[in-house]
Amino acid sequence: MAVKGAILGDILGSQYEFDRPLDLDWNHVAVVDENNTAIGFTDDSVMTLAVKKALVEGSDLVKTMVEVGRRYPLCGYGGRFYDWINENAHEPYNSWGNGSAMRTAFVGEFYEDYDEMQQMAAKVAAVSHNHSEGIKGAVVTATCIWMARHGKSKQDIYDYVLEQYPKDEYEYSIAYSLNEIRPRYKWNESCQGSVPAAMRCFYESTDYESFIRNIYSLECDSDTFGAIAGGVAEEFYHGFGEIDADAIIEKYLDEYLWGILCQQGK
């Protein structure tokens, strides 16, 4: 389940979103630091599951995102999206923030038809993040998940992301290795600064755990990196290896969100 991979990525990444030690030994640190009070689900999981609920139930997307989102007012929304959730009109505000990409995991999981999947990813983004980069980030994320589900190679996924984020136009293009990115990466909440770098974390991984450790190696919006590429890693590696994903997710999600996660799709 790509959505499970995204939620686990959000939870594991939340440990270091704002308080990452400069000397973090990302290759050996525990995947789950029980003493880290920052660990838990964030707005990434809330909105990912809101989108799932809307698609599974066939309910109105905006109404469902608002209803679910208002249950968790302190889960980490950006200021403009917080206003979008709580205002009456819910109009898009031309955002290129990575919030559009982090909530599309279930789109890549749910749709079999390629065009339908991309169209829905764009729709899920555009209700708030209708800037071209906001829409692109969502479409690329969902498409990478779809490609992993349909047996495409890691090189196929890399080539697609590179086409969307070419090296001569994007500072953190997937063309740059993590060794090249680490010394110069600055915490970045944009789609264009998050999606290709998150996909590079997947590209250089060998399993789900190494994907997470690649995220830990960057001073980045780590929970959102996990939500963006976690679904790709889960689908590509067909699970989580030695990580007990169900136990971790059930521990940190509340009963309501767990119930949405367990809803059956088509």
CATH number at residue 77: 1.10.4080.10
- For 206: left if phi > 0, alpha if psi spans -120 to 50, otherwise beta; the answer is alpha
Inside any domain, residue 31: no
> In a structure prediction context, what are the per-residue pLDDT tens digits for the chain, which is 266 residues long?
999 999 999 999 999 988 888 899 999 999 998 888 889 999 999 999 999 999 999 999 999 999 999 999 999 999 999 999 999 999 999 999 999 999 999 999 999 999 999 999 999 999 999 999 999 999 999 999 999 999 999 999 999 999 999 999 999 999 999 999 999 999 899 999 999 999 999 999 999 999 999 999 999 999 999 999 999 999 999 999 999 999 999 999 999 999 999 998 65
Residue pair 171/193 in contact (Cβ under 8 Å)? The answer is: yes
Give a yes or no: residue 12 inside a domain.
yes
Per the structure, the count of domains in the chain is: 1
Residue 247 lies in a domain: yes
Structure tokens at 177: 């290795």
- Distance CA(125)–CA(160), nearest Å, equals 19
Q: Is 26 among the domain residues?
A: no
Position 193 in a domain:
yes
223-252: burial string, b at 16+ Cβ within 10 Å, e else = bbbbbbbbbbbbbbbeebeebebeebbeeb
Answer whether residue 152 is part of any domain. Answer: yes
Q: Report yes or no on 24 lying in a domain.
A: no
Establish if 25 belongs to a structural domain: no
Locate all alpha helices (DSSP H) within 15-104, ordered by sequence. Answer: 43-57, 61-70, 79-86, 99-102
DSSP three-state, residue 190? strand
For 205, the domain range is: 2-17+40-262
